[in-house]
């Protein structure tokens, strides 16, 4: 299984960053790998999303389950047939100059070829995702200080 853990401090309020990460349907507008995301069902603090991501020429569609625990944690899992295991865990903690975002990504696919692509893409994807969320926060809330 491929896993990657990343931690960044972002100069934005925790609630704002939580809301941006929770708004999965907006991902294709600012996350490079996301081609499509549509919430298909909601039940309390849980929602299910059909998504399509692309790593270069590889594109895959899958369904995820997202559990929201505002404003501290977002846990995304999938039982989709594409994966042996899938989890993205976001945690948000207030710190002196903004919010510390921790992201844990674990993806294991049934396809060896796809797994090789995931192994190569996951570390870059984690950093790119955090940077994209920070840039999106800055675009919508221009009073945020510039990135350190």
At residue 148 the predicted structure's pLDDT band, cuts being 50, 70 and 90, is very low
Mean pLDDT over residues 109-121, rounded?
76
Distance of CA 127 to CAs 42, 102, 130, Å?
29, 11, 5
**Superfamily (CATH H level) for 2-140:** START domain (3.30.530.20)
Mean pLDDT of all residues belonging to the chain: 86
- In the chain, the N- to C-terminal Cα span, in Å, equals 33
pLDDT digits (tens, 9 = 90+) for 43-97: 999 999 999 988 677 788 999 999 999 999 999 999 999 888 999 999 999 999 8
Token output for 54: 């692309």
Positive or negative, the Cα torsion across 77, 50, 6, 89?
Answer: negative
pLDDT digits (tens, 9 = 90+) for 125-138: 777 777 888 888 87
Q: Where are the domains of the chain?
A: 2-140
Strand partners, 47: 42, 66
């Amino acid at each position: 299984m491929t896993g990657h853990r990343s931690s960044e401090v972002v100069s934005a309020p925790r609630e704002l960053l939580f809301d941006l990460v929770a708004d999965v349907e907006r991902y294709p507008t600012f996350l490079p790998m996301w081609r499509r995301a549509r919430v298909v069902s909601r039940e309390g603090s849980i929602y299910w999303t059909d998504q399509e991501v692309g790593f270069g020429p590889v594109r895959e569609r899958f369904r995820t389950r997202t559990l929201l625990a505002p404003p501290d944690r977002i846990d995304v899992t999938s039982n989709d047939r594409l994966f042996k295991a899938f989890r993205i865990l976001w945690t948000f903690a207030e710190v002196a100059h903004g919010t510390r975002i921790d992201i844990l990504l674990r993806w294991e696919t049934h396809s060896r070829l796809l797994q090789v692509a995931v192994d190569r893409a996951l570390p870059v994807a984690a950093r790119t995702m955090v940077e994209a969320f920070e840039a999106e926060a800055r675009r919508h809330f221009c009073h945020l200080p510039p990135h350190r």
